[in-house]
Structure 1
Amino acid sequence: MVDAGVTWTDERVELLKKLWTDGLSASQIANELGNVTRNAVIGKVHRLGLSGRAKDSKPETTAAARPRKAPRAPSAPAPIAPAIRNNVVVAPISRAPVVEEEVEVAVEEDLAIPMSERVTIMDLRESMCRWPMGDPTKPEFRFCGARSITGLPYCTHHARVAYQPVTDRRRERKVARA
């Protein structure tokens, strides 16, 4: 395949090879040769099978060549100094764990619903609670089936479980982390 508008004479190819092995970039070689684009140089280099490049005196910095750092032992947190932003001193945020008193949420996980009132997916209607009960892989799997709140898929009890206020969810996460 011949490059459009580029004549690769033997002299230009030899100069290309020399500049390539000297470590010049394709853009630099294109400027040096004149009347040729960077992409034409890259294509010619590829067709000629030139891959060896001159190495800089700097050591390689590829991920494979870099020595791995030894893992550091955890250190104590750095002291927190006040920050200055827009001529206002911003007080540091305490990194001490915040211990909030645990508030008992009066929501039972499984409401005692007799099996006779629970419904299968085939019996489930729009006005019924869609809270799943049991293991879906078992034949005993059912849905709550109680009267749902208008506009919601759950009964009053399961809506309290499903739609917890944001502050309650955050409190539960903090307690779980501690």
Structure 2
Amino acid sequence: MSWTDERVEKLKQLWSEGLSASQIATQLGGVSRNAVIGKVHRLSLPGRAKSGGAPPQSAPRATARNTAPPRAPNFASRVAGRRPAAPPQSTPSAPRTAGATALKQEVEADIAPAARPRSNPDNVVPIMKKVALTELTEMTCKWPVGDPTQDDFYFCGCDAKDNSPYCSYHAKLAYQPVSDRRRAG
């Protein structure tokens, strides 16, 4: 099937009358709905007025109070025994429509206040000695700090006990009981 001038004129007429692409394809015969849509697009035919009365009015756009996605809890908060803050509660707004077309539903997020970290007297952060790789021994903490590709990368360097590669503080971070790992996951 080829698009003759006569068929193109009929397509333009039916399109301006507001018929759907499926209806136009049926009336023309020998073409699919997608062929009609493609030809309308190539001809750059103007959009049609939606059936259903008055033209759509632009409703004020609801915006989320916080545009950044919620962050996952960081490693330190999971290890320190704190539960991560609950994700913000979302209140869906009413769906909007424009003519016969439903628009994407927008969501307003209620941001929960930030949880304050609880102090734990058993968690004392050591003052790190900031040693380089070449300065590590069997008795120093090998906890890496920073990005290895940067010049400011170092290891903790505090005293490691009990044949552990880490000091007591970093060992608590590295070796979590199975129950804590299951709860965090």
Q: TM-score by structure 1 length?
A: 0.49
Q: TM-score by structure 2 length?
A: 0.48
Larger radius of gyration between Structure 1 and Structure 2: 1
